[in-house]
Copies of this chain bind each other. A is one copy, B any other.
């Protein structure tokens, strides 16, 4: 007699996580080196040495209560100040610690933002393809996901459809750029227009519509694309950030939320998010790792590591006849399925021990997502399997 939502979820558990588990089982059977698991965004590039050093320094240098004890639900003031200062320096913002709330990763951050904003029945707009967990996150608080259809040309948000989908019930819009799963960066033009539409609709309906920017891939950009901070495009923008990808710490569950002063009733929103952090049971972001990341804010993930994978995988799969979107950021390759039903493509790949995720999991059937945050060697080793897959699919 479990909750009805969970009974449904038990039947259709996360496709990505199911793949991850399937990959582990396959690896036990035939050896990890023979499984080409491109299912999960689990960075293979190690955390910078400075992170591990900062952890050890904190353990050696801080009093136990300061290191492992409770602090305010929003996190350590010194850590929040360090992040505010770092953002100000990099992006010309003027944050103080009050604008920053430390969170249990970006997933924790998005949930406490949504808990703060949503009443049951409120609508949350997302742009397909999008990270499927948004549906669960909004659903946690009775929110209703409204999808904007994908623009299959360039995978920028379809702003014409977007404008049509905004109603009096629209409370929030979630964007994710660089994008999971497409690797596309939403252009400045897109962001400017999106901000203009939201401003117009706020006036039309007479209430706030919040733009939630999910930014785990913020720094992961290629070809010299600028690293952007998106609060400048629209006043009611709230940012959810994670160190999972930028410092290769996904298991540590550490990130932060930014609520700029430009947000309507910013102090209430900040307090509401802090309360939500407590009420949902996060209480606070893990303490030791807060202290550690604060010392590593200028560290950069090894973008070159992913870039090498990106160039190789994109060029090799294209040569094999696959149609791929060249990623501008993040570490996912978005590939058109050679057959209409991409589930058949996923199953065909499994026969060659290649695991990737079907586009339907991102509300965009007909495509698949290949996570190339693995080692370069694994990608190279997988090529004969991809060749066979291309042949199976009739591409060669």
Contacts and interface: CB of A to CB of B under 8 A. Distances in A.
Copies of this chain in the oligomer: 2
Contacts of A281: 104-105, 107-112, 137, 280, 282
A104 B2 contact: no
16 contacts: A1-B207, A2-B117, A3-B117, A3-B118, A17-B278, A47-B64, A52-B64, A55-B288, A56-B56, A107-B282, A108-B282, A139-B279, A251-B284, A252-B288, A254-B286, A280-B280
A389 interface: no
Given A17-B73, A46-B64, A46-B65, 17 more contacts: A9-B275, A14-B278, A47-B64, A51-B68, A55-B59, A64-B248, A68-B248, A68-B249, A69-B248, A69-B250, A104-B283, A105-B281, A108-B283, A133-B278, A140-B279, A253-B284, A253-B285
A105 B108 CA distance: 14
Given A108-B281, A275-B9, A70 B42 contact: yes
Given A2-B272, A279-B9, A42 B65 contact: yes
A154 B51 CA distance: 51
Contacts of A69: 42-43, 248, 250-251
Interface in A136-150: 136-137, 139-141
A348 interface: no
A280 B136 CA distance: 8
Contacts of A264: 1
A253 B73 CA distance: 12
A203 interface: no
A271 interface: yes
Contacts of A43: 65, 69
Contacts of A268: 2, 10
Nearest to A269: B2
A3 B10 CA distance: 29
A253 B282 contact: yes
B283 A286 contact: no
A30 interface: no
A276 interface: yes
Contacts of A249: 68
A84 interface: no
Interface of A: 1-6, 9-10, 13-14, 17, 20-21, 40, 42-44, 46-47, 51-52, 55-56, 59, 63-65, 67-73, 104-105, 107-112, 115-119, 133, 136-137, 139-141, 171, 207-208, 248-254, 264-265, 268-269, 271-272, 275-276, 278-289
B56 A275 contact: no
Contacts of A133: 278-279
A70 B251 contact: yes
A264 B136 CA distance: 26
A63 to B, nearest CB: 8
Contact of A272 (B9, B21, B73, B286): B9
Interface centre among A42, A52, A269, A281 (most CB of B within 10 A): A281
A97 to B, nearest CB: 14
Contacts of A17: 73, 278
